[in-house]
Chains A and B, each alone.
Chain A
Amino acid sequence: MVRTDYRLTQLDALEAESIHVFREVAAEFERPALLFSGGKDSAVMLHIAAKAFWPAALPFPVVHIDTGHNFPEAIEFRDRRVAELGVRLIVGSVQEAIDSGQLVEKRSSTAGRNRLQTPVLLETIERHGFDALFGGARRDEEKARAKERVFSFRDEFGQWDPKNQRPELWDLYNTKIGNGEHIRVFPLSNWTELDIWQYVERESVALPSIYFAHRREVVARDGMLLAVGAYVTPAEAEEVVEELVRFRTVGDMSCTGAVVSSARNPAEVIAETAVTRITERGATRADDRTAEAAMEDRKREGYF
């Protein structure tokens, strides 16, 4: 008599798992916050968070670590989403930290300001006393991420110790921490890039316009197409061309590359992604290519 066809589609199962994670954190932590970059993963994360607590409002603020080198489209999008949801936005500014002399910026054409985000992020966490931070990282993005827990413990210095992670069984998350420690929580751990796009399409999740094809002046550098603008000045030998492009991630403008594309909506992006043979980060993030273990090193220090 028991029906056996009770099953969830891939996207429904992933969404249910993410919702469970959001609620677990809201129930067990005092001061959670959601890290929001304006990128597609954090847009999806925010969308699911809103669903997890519906019809109540989000029970935590949104935090943005602003490099000062952001795409204006991403900032605009951030402000719009925050206003729509009526949540509090907390901005940690890399530029301010540089201006006040707290941070020193190294001159380097490809590294960008990603590494400088870490101290600002940790300072923001400390100042607000956050004990849990949601991040939009996915395990399929990068090798070091593949081994990170959904609830990832950080010590008083914000550091991740890959050799000393808590075993994670069933859906029972260990939320215990001491003073000054915190947990990074990754509700999208089990999503792939394709899942994200299919979900964006199904749920009509709004994204910054730069995710879709548009004309832009770019310059080819280190095998990537960089957007010419305030943060990328073409060198003498470099040729500026106008191309139809889109961005696959939204990072620091100085080191996030575009791909040539004519995809104008999620369905067309999915069609393109289905035949793409280069991973998201490899194609478009100079910061991850510097060393084979670049991400692992940054994560140990406390990066997202």
Chain B
Amino acid sequence: MSGPAEASPSRRRPGDILRFATAGSVDDGKSTLIGRLLYDSKAIFEDQLESVERTSRDRGDEYTNLALLTDGLRAEREQGITIDVAYRYFATPRRKFIIADTPGHIQYTRNMVTGASTADLAVVLADARKGLVEQSRRHAFLVSLLRVPHIVLCVNKMDLVDYAQDTFEEIAGEFEGFAARLSVPDLTVIPISALHGDNVVTASENMPWYEGPTLLSHLEHVWVAADRNLVDVRFPVQYVIRPQSAAYPDYRGYAGKVAGGVLKVGDEVMVLPSGFTTRITAIDTADGSVDEAFPPMSVTIRLAGELDVSRGDMICRPHNQPTAGQDIEAMVAWMDERAVLRPGAKLAIKHTTRVARALVRELHYRLDVTTLHRDEGASSLELNEIGRIRLRTTKPLFTDTYARNRATGGFILIDEATHRTVGAGMIL
């Protein structure tokens, strides 16, 4: 950990992380599917299984309910519903998976937005007997609003429709039509039976007509590295490292997580808001210096010359700068049950490493997430409602559109009185 040495060569070996969110209406089989993935990939342990078997018996279930594996808190177990985002983990030799398990109830848009915000991929479930319901459209819309780059529609309970190809094709076709109206870059549709395991981990013998991958195989192979923005250099300064020690008397490094682009030693860069240009003299990590840094690496950058750079500043390239401004147009998902969003409201805004105050100047419309209808007469947004707003901030923010970069296009709104996180914004 001392002295510059070559960074570990293991940095680029395969075996990365895939984060995915799951969504489905109640009883579509989401918990069973997750239980199945964990169980078949051997992420379930004996004592967990025993505890689930015990609970199943106590509740009088006639079979061991794999869904119980994913029901976390006692309140939920008592009510028999999932009420909040829960994170699950499993790994195969190819990849580590982080599941954001989000409940499908209508009132919990908040949780889906939260789960989707960090997801590389979303698994949306539909019941083969029911086809697409309002909820499926809503989920697909939210996933596309949050710009999750890959969507998988799992048509579940195929065993209950005799594994019929035409039923599957019909649902797949309808969903593809709907997805085409949203911006969904990559859509895959898979017929499965979560209960029996068809096409989840092992290919189904009951559906020889299906030639695509199983769900797990798709999750293992989907290519996500290119989803990050590697073009626009964005480095929000998070923390200034100044040891002022005998060994490092003059060291001054700007620590942060790369939000976009590839930074290279020697690059000419600009620091915002000052507008000064300089050069990157070193990119440090505790394991030694590296030649380049890309998202989502956490590194420390040194710059040539004496500069006044602090937390909240943005490092970019002189000829590729983010928008600097105090007027923000955004889609916002309101997440608070106590307060409502109204024009005139004042809130705190956190965007990258910058915090400011924001005034809601205008609510252009509220969006119906099922019909995509815009209600321009709306005067407020309540919990789980989504709308387009204009904000005025007390100081400039350095932004990109959310569509171009999720890291520099997303922000949260915080109520200054209650300190609650009340909104999530996506810059247009």
Which residues of A are in contact with B by a Cβ distance under 8 Å? Answer: 2-17, 19-20, 23-24, 26-27, 50-57, 139-140, 143-144, 146-147, 162-163, 165-172, 174, 176-178, 189-190, 192, 194-195, 202, 276-279, 282-283, 292-293, 296
Contacts and interface: CB of A to CB of B under 8 A. Distances in A.
Given A3-B230, A10-B96, A144-B72, A23 B256 contact: yes
B123 to A, nearest CB: 18
Contacts of A172: 350-352, 410-412
20 contacts: A13-B296, A23-B255, A27-B238, A144-B73, A146-B86, A146-B88, A147-B72, A163-B83, A167-B111, A167-B421, A169-B117, A169-B424, A170-B412, A174-B350, A176-B348, A190-B98, A278-B47, A279-B48, A293-B73, A296-B74
A147 B86 contact: yes
Contacts of A178: 419
A167 B411 CA distance: 12
Interface in B262-291: 262, 284-287
B410 A170 contact: yes
Given A56-B242, A293-B74, A296-B73, A166 B298 contact: no
A42 to B, nearest CB: 18
B257 A16 contact: yes
Given A55-B247, A56-B242, A277-B46, A16 B16 contact: no
Contacts of A163: 75, 83-84
B323 to A, nearest CB: 18
Contact of B45 (A50, A162, A194, A276): A276
B209 interface: no
A9 B353 contact: no
Contact of A162 (B73, B223, B241, B247): B73
B379 interface: no
Contacts of B10: 9, 11-12, 202
B379 to A, nearest CB: 24
Nearest to B101: A146
A140 B296 CA distance: 23
Task: Please give me the 8 A-B residue pairs with the lowest Cβ-Cβ distance, nearest first.
Answer: A282-B47, A51-B286, A56-B243, A54-B286, A7-B225, A19-B298, A4-B226, A176-B419
B286 A50 contact: yes
Contact of A55 (B45, B75, B251, B296): B251
B291 to A, nearest CB: 12
A10 B353 CA distance: 25
Contacts of A176: 348, 414, 416, 419
Contact of B225 (A4, A56, A146, A202): A4
Contacts of B256: 23
B347 to A, nearest CB: 11
A168 B114 contact: yes
Given A9-B15, A50-B1, A147-B72, A27 B257 contact: no
A292 B239 contact: no
A146 B69 CA distance: 12
Given A57-B243, A146-B72, A147-B73, A195 B96 contact: yes
A255 to B, nearest CB: 16
B183 interface: no
Contacts of A279: 45, 47-48
Contact of B230 (A6, A12, A162, A165): A6
A162 B78 CA distance: 15
A53 to B, nearest CB: 6
A279 B231 CA distance: 43
* Size class of the B contact interface (CB-based, 8 Å): 35 or more
B87 A146 contact: yes
Interface in B96-115: 96, 98, 110-111, 113-114
Contacts of B239: 23-24, 26-27
A4 B230 contact: yes
B89 interface: yes
A296 B71 CA distance: 13
B89 A190 contact: yes
A20 B245 contact: no
A177 B418 CA distance: 9
A62 B24 CA distance: 43
Contacts of B296: 8, 13, 16-17, 20
Nearest to A195: B96
B330 to A, nearest CB: 13
A139 B87 contact: yes
B91 interface: yes
Contacts of A144: 72-73
A48 to B, nearest CB: 9
Interface string B199-242: 00000000000000000000000011110101100000011011
Contacts of A17: 296, 298
A2 B261 CA distance: 10
A165 B407 contact: no
A53 B238 CA distance: 12
Contacts of A57: 243, 245
B406 interface: yes
Interface string B304-340: 0000000100000000000000000000000100000
A23 B253 CA distance: 13
Nearest to B310: A27
A176 B422 CA distance: 13
A8 B311 CA distance: 25
Given A2-B231, A19-B298, A174 B421 contact: yes
A87 B352 CA distance: 30
Contact of B84 (A8, A50, A147, A296): A147
B419 A177 contact: yes
B202 to A, nearest CB: 21
Contact of B297 (A10, A16, A171): A16
Contacts of B295: 6
A285 to B, nearest CB: 11
Most chain A Cβ neighbours within 10 Å, of B55, B95, B225, B239: B239
